[in-house]
Amino acid sequence: MNQLIAIVGMSGSGKSIATDYLEKKGWNKIYFGGVIYDRMKKEGIEITPDSQKEYREKIRKEYGMGAVAMLLLDDIDHTYQTGDTVLDGLYSWDEYLILKEKYGAALKMICICADKDLRYERVGKREERPFSKEEIVKRDITEIENTAKGGPIAFADYYILNNGSIENYIQRLEEIIANIEKRSEVK
């Protein structure tokens, strides 16, 4: 049985480490934020922290709080049927509910956590889309208040604390994947 894992966490926690690692191991990867960026590019909108926020809110007003999951459902279906699939960046409780209704117990969530100051430092040093501390604080608050991002984080099946070494992170990720695979074999 193919695996379907959603990676959740706040910006700068290290979600892309897990998704990139699994992708290198042959998993299909679906990047939730890609829908927003692709649509912004098609419409000729410059991608800035403020324009991203405005566009995310526009999409959610148009399609509801589960917008990104709804827009990606066909892609998720296709990739999940062809192999193990990791979803990078599930944001809202509504997105989780849409996916849980569709995939049931097959959907597992892994939350990546890191201390806030460490996350802010990481986001400020990014090559792509770096944010100032003020911008990332504003984004954190917006994601918590406007997208119900806390729900998927609190309700995750597994957690990885990403404050230490990459080796410890990968070891924990491998333990989680082995556990998920073991449980799916039993069913």
Largest separation between any pair of C-alpha atoms in the chain: 49
Domains in the chain: boundaries: 4-186
Is the model's pLDDT at 187 over the cut of 70?
no
Q: How many CB atoms lie within 10 A of CB 86?
A: 25
pLDDT digits over 129-173, tens only? 778 889 889 889 988 887 788 999 999 999 999 999 999 999 999
Residue 29 backbone dihedrals phi, psi, to 5 degrees: -125, 130
Q: How far is CA 65 from the centre of its chain?
A: 15
pLDDT digits (tens, 9 = 90+) for 70-106: 999 999 999 999 999 999 989 899 999 999 999 999 9
| Whole-prediction pTM | 0.89
Name residue 109's beta-bridge partners: 6
Which architecture does CATH list for 4-186?
3-Layer(aba) Sandwich (3.40)
Give the pLDDT of residue 131.
82
Per-residue confidence (pLDDT) for residue 162, from 0 to 100: 97
Q: Which amino acid is at 123?
A: V
